[in-house]
């Protein structure tokens, strides 16, 4: 078994790390939050002293962080993973960040003889817990072959999508589709509720047809039950759509639906709802219509 490192142990990172432990791997864990790190040690991980320490002690290091600036700081910054990493080490960033940042980090790693892959995930906390995430990977074929068995400890679907940066480009496409689906679901169920229908009956009626989706199956019941406990926070989806819109601007692509949903998310953020689950995107239409989707 390879000796692994894991930096970034939040809602997603910690259960992902635990699945590596369950598969029999040794994991050196590090996060700045002492109580979280204590919990990871109780889970069976070795205690890392710093990002650099994890880089020095592990053969493959995984990072799961909020956005590009954090990944740059953890990997490239003073006392970062790359300062400790030996040539031949692999760094796998599973954060969802701007593809251009992934490429910048990848170039710096290559200069030090370190493999870098961007491998963002989809599926939220439930799939992080049960190890069934969809993982979209950017990197060389050789580096992917090396880490694929490890990624399969955390994901049911692991796909090499292209060179470094391709994983995050694929994730941006995923996040556009998820956000627009949630917004459309909110419009549909708000209309149905206004017309006197039971939204749960409507969901059950349409989910077996073309309108059915994993988004509807996962987020429809949460909306109807008024359960917005975060599996994936609105503020993180705002960050992903911001990265998508910035990438679109740089590549001269029009994303009118994404821009509209980003405005909906901005309204929720302004209302202090950034830490709700992203299923709450649907509540913007409810508020505009003075309708609450529930049984």
Mean pLDDT of 152-174: 97
Mean pLDDT score across all residues of the chain = 97
- Look at residue 295 and tell me whether its pLDDT is greater than 90: no
CATH class of 169-289: mainly alpha
Residue 231 above 90 pLDDT?
no
Query: Residue 5, SS3?
Result: strand
In this predicted structure, the answer to whether residue 1 has a pLDDT above a threshold of 80 is no
Give the residue extent of every domain in the chain.
3-163, 169-289
Q: What is the pLDDT of residue 5?
A: 98
Q: How confident is the model at residue 248 (pLDDT cuts 50, 70, 90)?
A: very high
pLDDT digits (tens, 9 = 90+) for 39-58: 999 999 999 999 999 999 99
Average pLDDT for 192-220: 97
Which residue shows structure tokens 């819109």?
A: 245
pLDDT at 153 over 80: yes
Domains 3-163 and 169-289 share a fold: no
| pLDDT score for 2 | 81
| pLDDT score, position 7 | 98
pLDDT at 179 exceeding the cut of 80: yes
CATH C-level class of 3-163 = alpha beta
In the chain, the percentage of residues whose pLDDT exceeds 90 is 96
pLDDT score for 124: 86
Name the H helices within 156-255: 166-194, 199-206, 214-225, 234-251
Strands 60-63 and 46-47: unpaired
Distance CA 93, CA 101 (A): 11
How large is the average pLDDT for residues 97-120? 97
Mean pLDDT of the 126-143 span: 97
Q: Is 277 helix (H, G, I), strand (E, B) or coil?
A: strand
The end-to-end CA distance of the chain, in Å, is 51
Output DSSP code: residue 284. Answer: H
Give CA–CA dist 276/82, Å, rounded: 34
Beta strand 121-122 with 133-138: parallel, antiparallel or unpaired? antiparallel
Residues designated as active site: 171
Residue with tokens 């309708």: 291
Closest CA to 63 of 147, 186, 149: 147
Q: What is the pTM of this model?
A: 0.90
């Amino acid at each position: 078994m390879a000796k692994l490192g894991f930096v970034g142990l939040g809602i997603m990172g910690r259960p992902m790390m635990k699945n590596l432990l369950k598969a029999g791997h040794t994991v050196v864990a590090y996060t700045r939050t002492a109580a979280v790190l204590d919990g990871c040690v109780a889970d069976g991980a070795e205690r890392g002293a710093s990002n650099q320490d994890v880089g020095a002690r592990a053969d493959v290091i995984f990072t799961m962080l909020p956005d590009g600036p954090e990944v740059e700081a953890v990997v490239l910054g003073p006392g970062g993973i790359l300062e400790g990493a030996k040539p031949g080490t692999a760094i796998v960033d599973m954060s969802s960040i701007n593809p251009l940042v992934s490429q910048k980090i990848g170039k710096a790693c290559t200069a030090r003889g370190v493999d870098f892959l961007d491998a963002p995930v989809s599926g939220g906390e439930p799939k992080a817990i049960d190890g069934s995430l969809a993982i979209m990977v950017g990197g060389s074929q050789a580096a992917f072959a090396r880490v694929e068995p490890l990624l399969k400890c955390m994901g049911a679907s692991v796909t090499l999508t292209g060179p470094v940066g391709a994983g995050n480009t694929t994730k941006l496409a995923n996040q556009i589709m998820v956000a627009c689906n949630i917004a459309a679901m909110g419009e549909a169920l708000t209309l149905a509720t206004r017309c006197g229908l039971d939204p749960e009956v409507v969901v059950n009626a349409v989910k077996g047809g073309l309108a059915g989706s994993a988004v509807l199956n996962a987020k429809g019941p949460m909306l109807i039950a008024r359960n917005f406990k975060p599996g994936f926070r609105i503020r993180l989806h705002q960050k992903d759509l911001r990265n998508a819109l910035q990438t679109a601007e740089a590549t001269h692509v029009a994303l009118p639906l994404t821009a509209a949903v980003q405005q909906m998310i901005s309204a929720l953020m302004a209302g202090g709802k950034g830490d709700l689950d992203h299923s709450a995107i649907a509540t913007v239409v409810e508020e505009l219509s003075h309708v609450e989707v529930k049984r």
